[in-house]
A and B are shown apart, each in its own frame.
Chain A
Amino acid sequence: MSELFTTAVLVATVASGIRLAVPLLLAALGETFGQRSGVLNLGVEGMMLLGAFGGYYTVLQTDNVWLGVLVGAAVGAVLGVGTGVMSVTMQADQGISGIGVFLFGLGMSDLLFQKLVGTPRPIDTFPQLDIPLLSDIPIIGEMFFQSSAIVYLAFLAVPVATFVINRTPFGMDIRAVGQNPAAADSLGVSVARVRYATVIIGGTLAGIAGATLSIGLGIFQQNLTSGMGFIAVAIVYFGAWRPIGVMAGALLYGMVNALVLQTKTLGIVPTAWSDIASMAPAIITILALVFVATRFRQPAALTKPFIREG
């Protein structure tokens, strides 16, 4: 085990944990908006997959990573509108309709990839962006400040989301609609409009998260996300519906994954056992869900469509 504790390995593990956390953080932040307003969007996985393909294909064609992120965002936004139609207008069961979006995204992204790309071709990834001065600090600089712009932006989004949810009129509407839609409605807040807004924000961020994943890896393949979108939904529970908690959850997940990958590359555990190690994130998520469910209250109107009385 001692190989794991050399400084170089530790630095590399933390840095890779942060990178792994980013797509999850983005998707989970978006999902936080939806859930705080009472909409459980389980389609994140499908949105991420389509966003990932959109981003990948754009970069493949244009070599412009930022255009790729933009396309991912656009794809996600469109899917967000679709989720709004399902969950808000049609009041569909949120658990099952989200699985529909997942299956659609899983099939569609694979279909488009096979039809438009065929054989996997690598693309440009995000350029490294060192933060002046900070990146020169030994160890800390290497861990935190020698990443790419999207990583910094994702973490900047955490205080922004906290501010929007807790300190703005829009955020107040979101919380009101998520706790007591009938009361919000009687005060003249349009429940439907607020929920549409939050699921579109959620979709956009899920799309960006997908694009960040595929462009960050420089590849796309069938089922690239392999459950990450669902874990993002779970992380919102884990973070007790607060952006800062969500960030903690994403980082924990990223670190655990980085550690698992690191033990694989260093060959500390036999290869077969690495499959066992790969179970860790999912098992931790389940334990975290138990912990949170017994200690925190979810938004009162979560998963409940709003039907105006009389």
Chain B
Amino acid sequence: MTRNRSPQRSRILGYLVPVAAVTLALLIGALMLGILGANPLEGLNAMFQGAFGSGTAITSTILKATPLLFVAVGITIAFRANVINIGGEGQIVLGALLATVTALYLPEMPAPIMITLIAVAGIVGGGLWGAIPGALKAYYRVNEILSTIMLNIVAVQLMNFLLRGPLIDPQEIERGTRIPQTERLAEAADLPLLFGSGRFHIGPLIAVIAAVLAYILLWRTPTGFRLRAVGLSDDAARYAGMPEKRTIVLAMTLSGALCGLAGAVLVFGSESHRMVTDGSTAGFTGNAGFNGIVVALFGGLHPLWSIPASFLFGGLLVAGNALQRAVQVPSALILAINGLVVIFVVSSERIRKRILAHPVHVDEDEGPPGEGPDVMVPLSGGEPEAEP
């Protein structure tokens, strides 16, 4: 365990463990392709071309990566504070709903103000939906994993109710088609396009800025120090006089706020410029609330590493659609592979820790931005210790 390895070498080896875990998951995916009767090489080629093979493909990948990045950064903040936020799906939906309501009911106004307001609405909607399980955990010791999942279920029903009822496009009622969607939202709220491509909006840019801000928050501010201190040891943080409970609520609120922003971007960056439901959360979010967890883990719970990680997994999702077209293998395969990625990455944590268990202290506060995570998962899961 303490063989003499140089710190750099053990760090590099440490980074390679999650990469190996992902590679293994992808290999199993390729194997499944073979079992399903598709030529794995043909499939992989179609996937690569579909996700990275052209300008349009890369645009699709980046747009797909955007909600993943927001969620991953949010999840990272929560996980760093040892709060497991599985409620990304619901928080995305709530952010989207509040942003949609804002756009529907506000009078006409200049685009910059409108866009700021819908972004704030998204942040508030998601933030509130995150604050609830945060407060329940902090003050009532309710397991946040369970409460966030329950709130996901509540959120999808709320979305269906609002989009089938109060928020439905009046034309849908007139025509009797009753498709559960809003009317075309105010044009002032359309996310501005970049590069004149017709699709590439400012969403990805906002997501990258959010990731950088989250990095600064976590490693360059007292609040961030408190978040991480509570995450590493709530006892020590408590003895140091840190407000543990408020920190937990803050972590969940920030986490939810970022997911909510993802929701706003999903609506106002969409090509239809409406909010639509097919009755399921996944139909709106594309499982971003869960896939964002995969990205956060692969990014080593580091906001900046989440940027390339989201690009990779956004690519994987786009590749899944290409796969379906090229070799008729359902894109559900990608979801299964993502599940395996999570399983392998968390399971390989033990190996990684063993490699990193090197008697050299690395002061992570001083590390440059690209230094990456030292202790990847401060999680013990579940709720705080019961007080006697």
Contact = CB atoms under 8 A, between A and B. Distances in A.
Interface in A189-232: 222-223, 226-227, 230-231
Nearest to B383: A293
A103 B146 contact: no
A226 B336 CA distance: 16
A104 B146 contact: no
Interface stretch (A8-16, A157-165, A242-250, A282-290): A282-290
Place the interface of chain B in its size category: 35 or more
Contacts of B291: 103
Interface stretch (A54-62, A65-73, A91-99, A167-175): A91-99
Contact of A227 (B36, B152, B161, B350): B152
Contact of B297 (A96, A107, A281): A96
Contacts, number: 182
A234 B147 CA distance: 9
B348 A90 contact: yes
Contacts of A82: 343
A14 B241 CA distance: 53
B146 A233 contact: yes
A293 B334 contact: no
B347 A99 contact: no
Contact of B338 (A103, A226, A278): A103
Contact of A104 (B86, B136, B329, B336): B336
A282 B382 contact: no
A273 B162 CA distance: 10
Given A90-B347, A103-B290, A294-B140, A279 B339 contact: no
A108 interface: yes
Given A96-B379, A103-B336, A293 B142 contact: yes
Contacts of B123: none
B302 to A, nearest CB: 16
Interface in A288-302: 289-290, 293-294, 297-298, 302
B141 A293 contact: yes
Given A111-B332, A286-B151, A293 B297 contact: no
B330 A110 contact: yes
Contacts of B386: 297-298
Given A40-B381, A234-B150, A279-B157, A92 B347 contact: yes
A212 B139 CA distance: 38
A283 B154 contact: yes
Place the interface of chain A in its size category: 35 or more
Contact of A289 (B147, B154, B157, B282): B147
Contacts of B332: 106-108, 110-111, 114, 222
A230 B146 contact: yes
B282 to A, nearest CB: 7
Given A96-B297, A111-B330, A293-B141, A285 B339 contact: no
Contacts of A273: 161, 165
Interface in B275-300: 280, 282, 287, 290-291, 293-294, 297
Contacts of B165: 272-273, 275
B339 A46 contact: yes
B334 A107 contact: yes
A282 B282 CA distance: 18
B164 interface: yes
B340 interface: yes
A101 interface: yes
B335 interface: yes
Given A282-B153, A293-B141, 14 more contacts: A86-B343, A93-B380, A95-B86, A95-B145, A96-B379, A107-B334, A114-B330, A237-B143, A271-B164, A279-B157, A286-B151, A289-B147, A298-B383, A303-B381
Closest 6 A/B residue pairs (Cβ) = A104-B339, A107-B335, A100-B342, A107-B336, A103-B339, A275-B161
16 contacts: A93-B377, A96-B293, A99-B342, A103-B342, A104-B335, A104-B339, A106-B332, A114-B330, A114-B332, A230-B146, A230-B150, A234-B149, A272-B165, A275-B160, A286-B151, A298-B382
Interface of B: 32, 36, 84, 86, 136, 140-143, 145-147, 149-154, 157-158, 160-161, 164-165, 280, 282, 287, 290-291, 293-294, 297, 329-330, 332-343, 346-350, 377, 379-383, 386
